[in-house]
């Protein structure tokens, strides 16, 4: 049984940080370092989570502190 397409000895997906074969102990990464790199990206907000416009609009419309300066002029 010889299959040249069979990966060396791992069925884990490649490391998302560097693309090397992942290690079970650090999966989905290949090493602690790559895991830290990915975590650092999150902290530096390179992975921006999209904000829902719905929530923002509702919050603005219900904001009691919202004052229209033109109202006092008259």
CA-CA distance, 10 to 21, in Å (whole number)? 8
Residues within the interface to Zn ion (CB under 5 A)? 15, 17-18, 20, 30, 34
Which residue, 36 or 57, is less far from Zn ion as judged by CB? 36
Q: Is 42 annotated as a binding residue?
A: no
Give the ranges where the chain is alpha helix by DSSP (H). 32-43, 53-61
For residue 28, cis peptide bond before it (omega within 30 degrees of 0): yes
Which residue, 36 or 56, is less far from Zn ion as judged by CB? 36
Q: How far is the CB of 25 from Zn ion (least distance, A)?
A: 13
CA-CA distance, 51 to 60, in Å (whole number)? 14
Which residue, 18 or 39, is less far from Zn ion as judged by CB? 18
Q: How far is the CB of 4 from Zn ion (least distance, A)?
A: 25
């Amino acid at each position: 049984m010889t299959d040249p397409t069979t990966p060396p000895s791992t069925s884990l997906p490649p490391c998302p940080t560097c693309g090397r074969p992942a290690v079970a102990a650090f999966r989905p990464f290949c090493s602690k370092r790559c895991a830290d790199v990915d975590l650092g990206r999150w902290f530096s907000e390179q992975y921006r989570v999209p904000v829902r416009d719905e929530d923002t609009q509702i919050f603005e419309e219900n904001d009691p502190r919202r004052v229209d300066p033109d109202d006092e002029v008259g």
